[in-house]
Structure 1
Amino acid sequence: MKRLFVLNGGAAVKAGNKSAYLKFDDPLAAFARNGINTGDVLVYDAILKALAYDEVRNLQFSHAGDRKLWPKEPYDATVIRGSNYLTETVDLAHVVPLLKELKGPIVPIGIGAQADRYKKLNLPKGTVEAWKIIADKCETIGVRGFYSAEVFNDLGIKNVRVIGCPSFYRALRPSIAIKEIDPATARIGLTLNKYLSAEYATNATKTNRMQRALIDAVAKRPSSRLYSQGEREETLSIFSADEEKKRHVDAILARFNLAGHKEAEDLIANRMLAFLDVDEWAADVGKNADVMVGFRLHGNVIGLHQGLPAVFFTYDSRIRELASLFAVPVVEVEDYLPIDLEAILSTANFAKMEHVYRLNFAEYHRFLTENKLNHVLPKPVAPPPEKPLSAPNVVQISPGMDQTLDWFRSEVDFMTGEIERLRTRAWHFETTLRDMKQAKKAGPDKAGDQGKAAGQDKTGKDKTEKLAT
């Protein structure tokens, strides 16, 4: 019997060990606590579909310090589900004792660096130590792109192979053919991420404004859908009803400055879906979408591996790295051009992606084989690439002068309004603090009267916190 130990799989496994899903008796209670990225579940699902083991056991990194949960007997192999482990904010020091203790190979599949833009990373010492232990226990580390390979190289780790993300190969096909669509009538599967900032976006303001424009365009197609990928408010709005649902829908609309936009409200309230089972998610996309567009990597990949076209909006190192590796058509957020959905879909070219996919699949096959993992990938139809293949496949859109002027006028008006709103709040905050200081100097008698004017309640507790938020 072949036994597989998984680190950080992050999901339950169905009978037969070929599918992953989130097992919740009460999804509302689970998502009330926090969001759960179902893209990670898709990665785990794709790994399970590629491998063949009789027994699969998972241990999350968050529990890796608990020795009671460590395997008592050796497994045939250990794999690490790919994710953003090369980042300045993730320290794997607590995983080091387990890594030292594990017997046999430890094979990471689809490891990636995470930053807002390409740059040298100053990784925590615990993370560096963890990856050096892992590198000594495998033939090669599977990384998702050449930026991630460069980060490993900076650590002195050379035994890496660029394989992309295993989610791209979920269908287990050595080649892929992207379907033709009618750009004017295509049913859009939209993906969004309203929490993009810091190391997850080169420019958070541009990213959110581009998402707003995309919602506006997609919402006008009544047959289109919005797929939530585990975001908390989105998922809660799907599983809740009545006033609770409306509260979450209103919060999402407000986040994108779309309050009062009836078509956007209909999209979010009535045409947004979330799936806890990857097989069900993929089936719905395959049946109800002609093309995937948007800001979630795996929300777009769920269509690509089924032969549906997908256009990525690139905003950080991870999306740029993977989209370049697979030559997926992209719209670069930094270009900040108006959204012309039909023009984007008409111009996107998938011929290069179909070619590059065959080469990347061969590299993935070689990676699993050389690490002696028991896999079921069919024989590649092309040899692995002899040299790096990674270049952006940017959708070349040339909007007209009137369209461009309208876009930037609207955006300047919005930005100006935001600046004035912040200035007004800052002025009120400043004057409130000044009045409170004067009231304090005037003594306890006048402090009560002036304090009320300055923003204190009957108990003397100040309300400046509300002004500051």
Structure 2
Amino acid sequence: MAQILEGVVHMKKLFVLNGGAAVKPGNKSAFLKIDDPLSSFSRGGINTGDVLVYDAMLKALAYDQIKNLQFAHAGDEKLWPQEDYDATVIRGSNYLTETVDISNVIPLLKKLKGPIVPVGVGAQAAKYKKLELPKGSVEAWKIIADKCETIGVRGVYSAEVFNDIGIKNVRIIGCPSFYRNLRPSIEIRPIDPAKARVGLTLNRYLSADYASNATKTNRMQRALIQAVAQRPVNRLYSQGEREETLAIFAKGEEKQKHIQSILEKYNLDGDKDVEALVSDRMQAFFDVDEWAADAKENVDVLVGFRLHGNVIGLHQGIPAVFFTYDSRIRELSTLFAIPSVEVEDYMPINLENIFEKADFSKVQHVYRLNYAEYHRFLTENGLNHVLANPVTAPPKKALEKPNLVQTDQNLGEVTDWFQDEVGYMTGEIQTLRDRAWKLELALRELKAPKPNAKLAS
């Protein structure tokens, strides 16, 4: 990596904004430094999907020295780099939202020399809509756009959001995590629907900008948990969720308390299959290499409501089926033609049926096209990378039509599903009515005139 210029060794140096993890010696892997998980997760959860994105970026790039600074600390001038770097990259994430303002990064962006290249930036909304980005964010992105050849965006929707604020120099690359294997092609393994070992990830944060319909999404996730739990060879991965990770590392009564909390969260208290899945077959990894190795050895297909919980297998050729519930999941599953189940359809979950009908025939071809686009993106921005030359030309146009799984629904299953769901919703409505009535009574009591103490005496 180091270059020799007129007898002087030049070390290639990379500055990373919002990497969000530690870097192993050799600069090719990312991990979280967590010596005491119980203490760390008692304070809150961590999204290990972000670490996977950073890890994949590190594997693709080739630099001798790497310095990382989080957006949250970018306003502190004492933490700014005191030397020049060959390039700055921004780890992709959900930066294009109506609630995320990155104006605090502007002074640093203006100071940094050399290219500033965002890799995998994405819009985040419950469903497709025009976004009104904060003015500070718009200014920051225009500064960045002027300092790079192209901004790498997650998909068509993200490109539209940039276009709406006048930024045209974008390239649709997906997420760098999809290319973690560094190969120009992948081969998706076949699935045996009846015997496949299933890996599942859960998501506690399915509301607001992260679900087009929170009720449907959470109920579908609950049904998926039950379906996966029925096979004793299946396993569950915690992707940094607080309660799940504590349940893995705690012992005795403390462990049981967290398990019970998880069951209650998903309204599965008393389901012995789910309890066994959570207590005996749930894993958490803070090292991406270890996470990937475990999935490769123990899983035949991945499902779930976490994007990177599926990608950890896909880049290794392990098939995955997405459950699509927000703009990000829909955008990326569409771009890579990955079979998906749309939660808005709100139908019962039969895993064997889903695996039989999931069509992966386009995934391998589309991956090669998207890889070629990613290669072109890194190259045109002057980033030092190790990607092999693509085996095909980049796509002329990004995919915009989802690869939905078309299952044959059993009338009995559908009837039972909706009877149970109607019963649940009826109970929830009654609970809300009871709460509203109690609140009304409390308000009336507050507004009622107080008896005059003197008259009463």
Q: TM-score, normalised by structure 1?
A: 0.93
**CA offset at residue 241 of structure 1?**
1.4
Partner SS state of residue 441, structure 2: helix
**CA offset at residue 445 of structure 1?**
10
Equivalent of 2:301 in 285, 291, 303: 291
| 1:91 lines up with 2:114 in the alignment | no
Equivalent of 2:187 in 177, 184, 187: 177
**CA offset at residue 429 of structure 1?**
3.0
Equivalent residue, structure 2, for 1:450: none
Contact 1:326–1:390 (CA under 8 A) maintained in structure 2: no
**CA offset at residue 398 of structure 1?**
2.4
CA shift digits 1:97-123 (9 cap, x unpaired): 000000000010000000000110000
| 1:375 lines up with 2:389 in the alignment | no
Q: Distance in 1 between matches of 2:455 and 2:243?
A: 45
Q: Distance in 1 between matches of 2:80 and 2:109?
A: 10
Equivalent residue, structure 2, for 1:441: 450
Equivalent residue, structure 1, for 2:280: 270
**CA offset at residue 425 of structure 1?**
2.3
Q: Distance in 2 between matches of 1:445 and 1:194?
A: 55
Q: Distance in 2 between matches of 1:126 and 1:428?
A: 43
Equivalent of 2:217 in 207, 224, 233: 207
**Aligned-partner residue type, residue 441 of structure 1:** K
Contact 1:164–1:325 (CA under 8 A) maintained in structure 2: yes
Q: Distance in 2 between matches of 1:429 and 1:251?
A: 27
Contact 1:327–1:390 (CA under 8 A) maintained in structure 2: no
CA shift digits 1:207-261 (9 cap, x unpaired): 1100110011100100000111111111111111112211211111111110000
Which one is further off, 259-268 or 389-398?
A: 389-398
**Aligned-partner residue type, residue 223 of structure 1:** V
**CA offset at residue 196 of structure 1?**
0.8
Partner SS state of residue 215, structure 1: helix
Does the C-alpha gap of structure 1 residues 411 and 92 become closer, same or farther in structure 2, counting only changes over 3 Å? same
Equivalent of 1:353 in 354, 360, 363: 363
**Aligned-partner residue type, residue 277 of structure 2:** L
**CA offset at residue 400 of structure 1?**
1.8
Q: Distance in 1 between matches of 2:210 and 2:253?
A: 32
Contact 1:200–1:316 (CA under 8 A) maintained in structure 2: yes
Q: Distance in 1 between matches of 2:125 and 2:58?
A: 28
**Aligned-partner residue type, residue 346 of structure 1:** E
Equivalent residue, structure 2, for 1:395: 405
CA shift digits 1:401-430 (9 cap, x unpaired): 211111101000000011111212222332
Equivalent residue, structure 2, for 1:232: 242
Q: Distance in 1 between matches of 2:455 and 2:249?
A: 53
Does the C-alpha gap of structure 1 residues 443 and 61 become closer, same or farther in structure 2, counting only changes over 3 Å? same
Q: Distance in 2 between matches of 1:83 and 1:56?
A: 19
Q: Distance in 1 between matches of 2:151 and 2:453?
A: 68
**CA offset at residue 442 of structure 1?**
3.1
Give 5+ residue unaligned stretches, structure 2: 1-10
Partner SS state of residue 339, structure 1: coil
Equivalent residue, structure 1, for 2:8: none
Partner SS state of residue 436, structure 2: helix
| 1:26 lines up with 2:13 in the alignment | no
Equivalent residue, structure 2, for 1:6: 16
Give 5+ residue unaligned stretches, structure 1: 448-469
Contact 1:200–1:315 (CA under 8 A) maintained in structure 2: yes
Q: TM-score, normalised by structure 2?
A: 0.96
**CA offset at residue 431 of structure 1?**
2.6
| 1:255 lines up with 2:265 in the alignment | yes
Which one is further off, 178-187 or 315-324?
A: 178-187
Identity of aligned residues (%): 72
Equivalent of 2:233 in 206, 223, 233: 223
Q: Distance in 1 between matches of 2:396 and 2:123?
A: 23
| 1:110 lines up with 2:120 in the alignment | yes
| 1:341 lines up with 2:339 in the alignment | no
**Aligned-partner residue type, residue 328 of structure 2:** R
Partner SS state of residue 42, structure 2: helix
Q: Distance in 2 between matches of 1:446 and 1:234?
A: 60
CA shift digits 1:429-450 (9 cap, x unpaired): 3234434555x62356999xxx
Partner SS state of residue 264, structure 1: helix
| 1:301 lines up with 2:311 in the alignment | yes
Equivalent residue, structure 2, for 1:142: 152
Moved over 4 A (4+): 435-438, 443-447
Equivalent of 2:253 in 235, 243, 251: 243
Equivalent of 1:312 in 322, 325, 330: 322
Equivalent residue, structure 1, for 2:138: 128
Contact 1:304–1:310 (CA under 8 A) maintained in structure 2: yes
Contact 1:9–1:81 (CA under 8 A) maintained in structure 2: yes
CA shift digits 1:299-327 (9 cap, x unpaired): 00000011100000000000000000000
Q: Distance in 2 between matches of 1:102 and 1:444?
A: 71
Partner SS state of residue 435, structure 2: helix
Equivalent residue, structure 1, for 2:430: 420
What are the residue-to-residue correspondences of 1:77-88 with 2, within 5 Å?
77-88=87-98
C-alpha RMSD of the superposition? 1.4
Partner SS state of residue 78, structure 1: strand
Q: Distance in 2 between matches of 1:293 and 1:348?
A: 12
Q: Distance in 2 between matches of 1:166 and 1:400?
A: 39
Q: Distance in 1 between matches of 2:304 and 2:453?
A: 58
CA shift digits 1:361-403 (9 cap, x unpaired): 0000000000011100001111101223232000001212211
Equivalent residue, structure 1, for 2:4: none
Q: Distance in 1 between matches of 2:396 and 2:326?
A: 27
**CA offset at residue 187 of structure 1?**
0.6
**Aligned-partner residue type, residue 395 of structure 2:** P
Q: Distance in 2 between matches of 1:245 and 1:434?
A: 43
Q: Distance in 2 between matches of 1:222 and 1:318?
A: 31
